[in-house]
Chain A
Amino acid sequence: QQQVKQSPQSLIVQKGGISIINCAYENTAFDYFPWYQQFPGKGPALLIAIRPDVSEKKEGRFTISFNKSAKQFSLHIMDSQPGDSATYFCAANHTGTASKLTFGTGTRLQVTL
């Protein structure tokens, strides 16, 4: 019940295209869903996050869509750029418990010219 399933494992998108990464969870106690971006040799960095009372959140070219009934959420990267090439992790947190983030397995995104 603690798992967060993430797909696809890897993704190749042309420059200017839309990258879509999907995640699904089972634990309905989760109430905060961040996405982290990690470049090779660096630590993960918080990219964007959403709470389940909101169906969509947009920050620049990055949008999270959230479907509470389906227990699914996804990251859309519009106008994908080569600089977006990185590994993306979705995560989930239950703010009522102590601090743990449950990470998805990660998606390696490559944006080609």
Chain B
Amino acid sequence: DTEVTQTPKHLVMGMTNKKSLKCEQHMGHRAMYWYKQKAKKPPELMFVYSYEKLSINESVPSRFSPECPNSSLLNLHLHALQPEDSALYLCASSQAPSQGYEQYFGPGTRLTVT
């Protein structure tokens, strides 16, 4: 199974809402990533978890809060977002942090902030 799954597929939220994005992989990968992708742009790295610990935070605003409850699951908690945060949010995983050159991406969650 080489699949990374993400739920929900689409999410519309108001600026005062709290919501969460979920990502799951069952490949035994020990590195997991959150990316933000705007239309016609490359994915932009937000966070990296290595062995369930946060190893990279690319200066992401605190209204985005990642969580890695176990080695298969990655969440992104959202609170008080702005309309400019509307984007495709991608989760990815790699076998190990040192193998970040080979990342498997999920289909993404299309987020719209109203």
Contact = CB atoms under 8 A, between A and B. Distances in A.
Nearest to B55: A98
B100 A46 contact: no
Contacts of B103: 46, 101
Interface stretch (A63-71, A76-84, A103-111): A103-111
A24 B31 CA distance: 27
Given A106-B42, A108-B40, A34 B102 contact: yes
Interface in A29-88: 32, 34, 36, 41-46, 49, 87
A34 B105 contact: no
Interface residues of A, number: 24
Interface string B76-104: 00000000000000101010011111111
Tier of interface size on chain B: 20 to 34
B102 A99 contact: no
Given A98-B55, A99-B48, A42 B108 contact: yes
Contacts of B43: 44, 89, 103
A93 interface: yes
A43 B97 CA distance: 20
Interface of B: 4, 31, 33, 40-43, 45, 48, 50, 55-56, 90, 92, 94, 97-108, 110
